[in-house]
Chains A and B, each alone.
Chain A
Amino acid sequence: MRKTIALSYLTVVLLGPLAMLFWRIWQEGAGKAWSAISEPDTLHAFKLTIEIAAIAVPLNTIFGIVVGLAIVRTRFPGKGLVNAFVDLPLALSPVVVGLSLFLLYGRTGWIHIGQILFALPAMVLATVFVSVPYVAREVIPTLREIGDEQEQAAHTLGASGWQTFWRITLPSIRWAVIYGVVVTTARCLGEYGAVAVVSGSISGRTETATLRVQDYYENLDQAGAYGVSLMLGLIAIVVLVLMTLLKPKEGTA
């Protein structure tokens, strides 16, 4: 009974819409979708999406590990606040994130340094903002679970703080980090709202893959929209498979 409910729910909420997407691409003809995908502006959109992810993911991975260690292993005033702030992007709508960046770096904002809005910097900032929590949220419970005895042992054996981090802490949390990286990457590739506000969505320049879908759709080019969506869908499936492969290993790490 419970299994039936869970399966029906997943079918209606997740699989239905995705199946519809594939069905429509089939109807429109795979050739049309393919030609849309191979358009220079679409290729540029994918390249830009990957570039943004390539900057945002390492930044948030390092931040996630550092903030995780700070929260679990040290005591400092305002720790609870930092812990709560890490989750802020989960609670805040990406559109609001985009708007606040827009206001901060816009003509009436406080910060004016070079071209930030409608360019790569703002898009990276928006993406970094929305994908902050994922590595930290994986790392924090794992750090708590392994405790600090192994690290203490390493210290008494003569390891410096840095040696202890590289030889003991990082290998112990590696699966949590990898899992966090996969989720962060997925989040970065799929980001829409915040980037939409700050990018200006200029085709061939500041348009990411998700914005490209919107662009095609508004211009009534359904095959194009479906084609790009399909690519994003395939990436999602790859991510899903990676996550499934990594998840069980978490416990044994």
Chain B
Amino acid sequence: MSICVRNVTKRFGSFLALDDVSVDVETGSLTALLGPSGSGKSTLLRIIAGLESPDAGEIILAGENATARSPQSRGVGFVFQHYAAFKHMTVRDNIAFALKVRKRPRPEIRTRVDELIELVQLKGFGHRYPAQLSGGQRQRMALARALAAEPTVLLLDEPFGALDARVRAELRAWLRRLHEETHTTTVFVTHDQQEAMEVADSVVVMNEGRVEQVAPPRVLYDEPKNQFVMSFVGQANRFGDGWVRPHDLQVTLEPNGLTREVLIERLVHVGPEVRAELVRDDGVRLDLQIARDEADRLELAAGQIVYVRPTRERVF
């Protein structure tokens, strides 16, 4: 294990940010800390980095208790949401910072910086200042800077949160590839379930200062441990005693003993699928997702009465 968090508790005044949290992060993995704002995910990341100290509990990094160690001696790379670029330094000097404070020889620094600039695709931008870069470029520079001293773990706090949707998607794919090349144990914080599911190979779902579930994306989606995880990592409908995902509803034109009658209130075509808002006779609303072909076969339209039955249901 690269990172072991043991029974960590942290309060800010009367607010309980982390409540007896324990998490293990495997060496070489790419892990997402996923949760709504105020769930404690950023606080946990900052405690791992040593930027906050826990009120109780321990942080073990590469087998050694690091709880009392300062951030500069933990060997972690940290990337901030708002880049924290050194504004008075060029891209090269930003990236070289960790090597310069370690008093590495100049030629070594030059070679390493060249390497990193290549890795984060900032060739030709070395002599620019952060103010002359786009948001995505700044974040890539911050990443290169964090990687310079070859940290044992790389921590990213909402790394793409301040970027627009297109750049976000690009950087996600790029982070994934970067991880495949470097295999540095990486933990990133996000409130975006899609980002966590797309990028990470293990997701830690957090809520109100506690860990709700740790699992690979697929398992998290198919076998959520509780109602919070079920509805946070995807859409979910209440159906009787259980919960069902919008695509796990089967639509028929005739009732049978297992179906419920619903009215199609709205119907939208989104690429290969059709999304519908359904209303049950008792007023409860349901979301439905079905394949376009299926919707065409049934000739679904708004205002129509149909019958639905869950094909896959979870009861908590």
In whole angstroms, how far apart are the Cα atoms of A243 and B122 in the complex? 38
Looking at chain A, what size class is its interface with the partner chain? Answer: 10 to 19
| Min CB–CB distance B102 → chain A (angstroms) | 6
Supplied contacts A150-B85, A152-B71, A167-B100, 9 more A-B pairs, CB within 8 Å: A153-B78, A153-B86, A155-B50, A156-B76, A157-B72, A157-B98, A158-B98, A158-B149, A160-B101
Q: List 6 A-B contacts (CB under 8 A).
A: A154-B97, A155-B71, A156-B51, A156-B76, A157-B145, A159-B72
- Contact bitstring B74-101, A, C-beta under 8 A = 1, else 0: 1011101010111110000000011011
Binary per-residue interface labels of chain A (151-190) against chain B in the complex, 1 for a CB within 8 Å, 0 otherwise: 0111111111001000110011000000000000000000
Q: Please report the C-alpha to C-alpha distance between residue A153 and residue B76 in the assembled complex, in whole angstroms.
A: 11
Closest beta carbon of chain B to A157's beta carbon, Å: 4
With A168-B86, A172-B88 known as contacts, the answer to whether A155 contacts B97 (CB < 8 A) is: no
* Complex: A154 Cα to B78 Cα, angstroms: 10
How far, in angstroms, from A154 to B146 measured CA to CA in the complex?
Answer: 10
> How many residue pairs, one in A and one in B, have C-beta atoms under 8 Å apart?
66
- Give the residues from 116 to 164 in chain A that come closer than 8 angstroms, CB to CB, to chain B: 149-150, 152-160, 163
- Tell me if A153 and B101 are in contact (CB < 8 A): no
* Neighbour of B72 across the interface among A160, A167, A171, CB < 8 A: A160
A residues in contact (CB < 8 Å) with B: 149-150, 152-160, 163, 167-168, 171-172, 253
Cβ of B251 under 8 Å from chain A: no
List residues of chain B with CB under 8 Å of any chain A CB: 49-51, 70-74, 76-78, 80, 82, 84-88, 97-98, 100-102, 142, 145-146, 148-149
- For the complex, give the distance between the alpha carbons of A156 and B75 in Å: 8
B72 touches A150 (CB 8 A): no
Give the shortest distance, in Å, between B233 (CB) and chain A (any CB): 30
Alpha-carbon separation in the docked complex, A156 to B71 (Å): 5
In the complex, chain A residues whose CB is within 8 Å of the CB of B82:
149
How close is A59's CB to chain B, nearest CB, in angstroms? 26
Q: Which 7 A-B residue pairs are closest in the complex by CB-CB distance?
A: A153-B84, A157-B98, A156-B78, A149-B84, A155-B71, A159-B101, A171-B88
